[in-house]
Structure 1
């Protein structure tokens, strides 16, 4: 049995941010995650926007943390070596109703302290984003784009280098307390801890119930996406959103990713399945119809992939009204911090929420600063983004930089090897993909996936039957095709 000062349940973006923030203190910290890597849930299934904070109720935890997280992100991106661009965002409209709805959100944003919001005309819109269609727009210069998976990995690796222990394939099955420690039963053994942090995302109500904090209801708002080839993103600089509807939500939008693809989506409909990530012809057709009026490259020749994500929103069980984030410590569970309903803008809010978790702990516990804490983490160098001179130097130093493993994304064997030997000890094909972008190009792994699996076999000295794609039991091979 392993014993810790703090156990964080869930290795999504918020759980990893909490782990990193806690590693600033002299604590024995563990993160329990049911999957085989970080960001295998909804932290990886979203648009990758750094939100400015103009859609959230003034004074709400969502609004406060979104603005706080947005303003600090340039520094955070430098510390963690994650790709980020403050791209801005345009919210376009065509009708008087659109104009009034946009003005409403401009007013909300100003109340929340969002900087630089302005209404622009058609000519100004064309200058900011030539690919956008609209008669007018609200321009939000503080909005940005990032890779949510890379960000979560960076938070986790930085936490790990500061002493945090990650236990994957460890689903929490039960919680008991003797008022001094929690006994946490998982499918992979038992651990004890003085503190428990519930950051279980879509399963947060389940863990909350285990803690004795009952009554919370979440509802899954599912959204589907198309991923467009980088050719569709040529010239697109700024995410393009439609004017909010009467209920305050946004319909399908077109977002340039930090790597140059375009995401079209999401739509929104209710799902009961916790991990219902299937996509449907009906909803994908709706994406094309809704997005074509404001972005002109939503065409079949650019489609390379589809995916879905689910926003598990906390709702009033009687009215169905969406509620604010919950971040609480209760006297009847004093050594537990409970986070429920953390959905969008969870990526933007992750570190501000993490700091508030620490503040809640400090209300009853004296935390001693860790003098050895280092906020900096170095990611895998992307060969494709270097200058010719830099590439030549790397190849001279390590010839494996001269061998391409993934042609679409120009990922080298040297990068694949670094990913295989990542600090968290993740050895799945999807883990390599998420760290290098190999298999994410036009052919979606048709060329490189077999090469990656062979490198995993050779580096780890395992058989082909032991190579996993992403989840437990997701075996790549059942045996050899030829004897």
Structure 2
């Protein structure tokens, strides 16, 4: 049995990590339980990485409120956490008369939500902003931006950790019991005592809610598949470009999104599935992504495709009903000190910190929260060698020769950066953990050159046998037996 905590957060996606960071501003003993071997292994790291402006959300909803607040304040948090963020702007492109009506409707919703700068632009202006994107008219949103959602979540978690929050990875919650004035949370490893429980379990948030006696939530997993394009394609697209959304599907349609790292994403699709962990990619959907993407950007060609992946939205609405349900944020009468965060789909990435601040406000109504005078909002990321000037690179190599050894040729990642990722504040020891923190293995060859070298260094630093090295998840072992 662990010592009693003031707050236990279940789930270390972007919202759970944001909640942990906001709680670390106060003198509280906080733990985060995550069933995977790293933070951001599911929904939060498997999306387009767009900081939405807030014009897609229904006026008056929590979705709209949190999205607009999160977007307008994102420059500050990006600076504090040392993460790359670009306000690229965004186009929602229309082709037909019905599409134009849809653009006007989006503009009206956005204005009601308080989104600044929205305007409908002509085909000529589309070409001026994005010469290769096709469309008859578009809604232009200047506030929309792009971020690496994985790096953002890691930064939130690391900053929370640096401010005293304890992260327990590979801790899957098996049961929750109310005992007098506290809860006991049993996991696959040990039991945690806590006064407050924050249910931020994403795809499994309905399951956690059921453990405390709330049985009327059901998460419907909806899978979205993506293609990742080589950086050579980036010349064709510099801002997210979407079609007019399909209201029934409850998604934003197949869109084209540049990443802050120089790639371009095509997707996602929107297909309801039965399993919450089925991240398959299907040929039928992949072909559909290409066809839909080419309608807006004819330059798309298979030669640019380097990888595909999928993410799963934790929707609170069924396929039959379609569309969106609003976020669920708050306590339930008769179940004290349990704050449920359920149905946090898009724009959850944008909304994470405003949601976290409201979680703290809920606790503050019942507790006397004392500020943590040692709280430091500043977190420094791993310095990217390939982004430095020639003079700076020479200086870094002089300081540490490991900067002079390139481990990943595609992304120009050095041995020093790999070592820094291996010794990350959260203690993550997986290949994907290193990949997510450095971009090694994310280039054109997808690890063909660097993966074995990284494995060897990981084994050396943690004194691991080859059979102990894991790619990403609990049973994701890379090696079995010996070869000469």
Q: What is the aligned partner in structure 1 of residue 356 from structure 2?
A: 354
- Displacement of 1:249 in angstroms is 4.2
Query: How many angstroms does 1:317 deviate by?
Result: 10
Alpha-carbon distance between aligned partners in 2 of 1:98 and 1:42, rounded to the nearest angstrom: 29
Map of 1:220 onto structure 2: 221
Q: Per the alignment, in what secondary structure is the counterpart of residue 316 of structure 2?
A: strand
Q: Is the 8 A contact 2:441 2:450 kept in 1?
A: yes
Aligned residue in 1 for 2:448:
446
Match of 2:265 in 1: 263
Q: How does 1:216-295 map to 2 (within 5 A)?
A: 216-247=217-248, 249-295=251-297
Paired residues of 1:264 and 1:291 also in contact (CA < 8 A): yes
Match of 2:12 in 1: 11
* CA–CA distance in structure 1, aligned partners of residues 263 and 24 of structure 2: 35
Q: Once the 2 structures are TM-superposed, how far is the Cα of residue 132 of structure 1 from its aligned partner?
A: 1.0
Indicate how the Cα distance of structure 1 residues 318 and 305 shifts in structure 2: closer, same or farther if over 3 A, else same: closer
State the 1:321 CA deviation: 6.0
In structure 2, distance between residues paired with 1:317 and 1:245: 13
Deviation at 1:298, TM superposition (A): 2.0
Match of 2:174 in 1: 173
CA distance in 1 between counterparts of 2:407 and 2:174 reads 40
Q: Which residue of structure 1 lines up, in the alignment, with residue 39 of structure 2?
A: 38
Q: SS at the partner of 1:380?
A: coil
Contact 2:385 2:413 in 1 (8 A): yes
Report if aligned partners of 1:101, 1:245 keep a CA contact under 8 Å in 2.
no
Query: Any idea what SS the aligned residue of 2:64 has?
Result: helix
Match of 2:315 in 1: 313
Aligned to 1:344: 346
Alignment partner, residue 388 of structure 2: 386
Q: CA deviation at 1:362?
A: 1.4
* Contact residue 106 and residue 138 of structure 1 kept, 8 A: yes
Against the structure 1 CA distance between its residues 209 and 320, is the aligned structure 2 distance closer, same or farther, given a 3 Å change threshold?
farther
Q: Partners in 2 of 1:447 and 1:54 — Cα distance?
A: 43
Deviation at 1:104, TM superposition (A): 0.3
Q: What is the alpha-carbon distance in structure 1 between the residues aligned to residue 441 and residue 40 of structure 2? A: 17
Deviation per CA, 1:216-242: give whole Å up to 9, x if none: 122112111111101111242111111
User: What secondary structure, in the 3-state scheme, does the structure 2 residue paired with 1:193 have?
Assistant: strand
2:138 aligned with 1:145, yes or no? no
Distance 2:226 2:209 in 1: 31
SS at match of 2:223: strand
Structure 1 segment 21-36 matched on structure 2, within 5 A: 21-36=22-37
Residues 339 and 169 (structure 1), Cα distance of their counterparts in 2 relative to 1, 3 Å cut: same
Give deviations 1:190-224, integer Å, cap 9, x for gaps.
11101100000000000001111220122112111
- Write the distance in 2 (CA, Å) between the matches of 1:397 and 1:76: 30
Report the CA distance between 1:22 and its aligned residue. Answer: 0.3
Question: Does residue 1:161 correspond to 2:156, yes or no?
Answer: no
- What is the aligned partner in structure 1 of residue 414 from structure 2? 412
2:43 and 2:251 map into 1 onto residues whose CA distance is: 19
- 1:411, 1:196 → 2: CA distance? 40
**Distance in 1 separating the partners of 2:189 and 2:294:** 48
Q: Name the structure 2 match of 1:296.
A: 298
1:156-195: CA deviation from partner (whole Å, max 9, x where unpaired): 0000000000000000000001241110100011111011
Match of 1:203 in 2: 204
| RMSD over equivalenced CA pairs, Å | 1.3
Could you say if the C-alpha distance between residues 387 and 317 of structure 1 is closer, same or farther in structure 2, counting changes exceeding 3 Å? closer
What is the number of residues matched between the two proteins?
482
Contact 1:170/1:186 (CA < 8 Å) preserved in 2?
A: yes
1:9 and 1:32 in contact (8 A); partners too? yes
Counterpart in the other structure of 1:472: 474
Distance across 1 between alignment mates of 2:422 and 2:299: 36
Using the TM superposition, give the Cα deviation of residue 244 of structure 1 relative to its aligned residue in structure 2, in angstroms: 2.3
Q: Residues 281, 321 of structure 1: CA spacing in aligned structure 2 closer, same or farther, 3 A cutoff?
A: closer
The equivalent of 1:402 in structure 2 is 404
Cα deviation digits, residues 294-328 of structure 1 (max 9, x gap) = 01232110011011111111127995663100001
Q: Is the partner of 2:421 in helix, strand or coil?
A: helix
Which of 328, 334, 337 aligns to 1:335? It is 337
Aligned-pair CA distance for 1:131: 2.1
- Show structure 2 runs of 5+ residues with no match: none
Distance in 2, Cα, partners of 1:361 & 1:35:
27
Aligned CA distance change for structure 1 residues 433 and 246 (closer, same or farther; 3 Å)? closer
CA contact (8 A) 1:102 1:244 kept: no
Larger CA deviation: 357-366 vs 180-189: 357-366
SS at 1:174 equivalent = strand
Q: Distance in 2 between matches of 1:216 and 1:91?
A: 33
Separation in structure 2 between the aligned mates of residue 230 and residue 160 of structure 1, nearest angstrom: 33
Shift of 1:95: 1.1
Contact 1:217 1:317 in 2 (8 A): no
List per-residue Cα deviations over 1:310-351 (Å, max 9, x = no partner): 111112799566310000112311111111101111110000
| Distance in structure 2 (CA, Å) of the matches to 1:290 and 1:309 | 19
Q: TM-score, normalised by structure 2?
A: 0.98
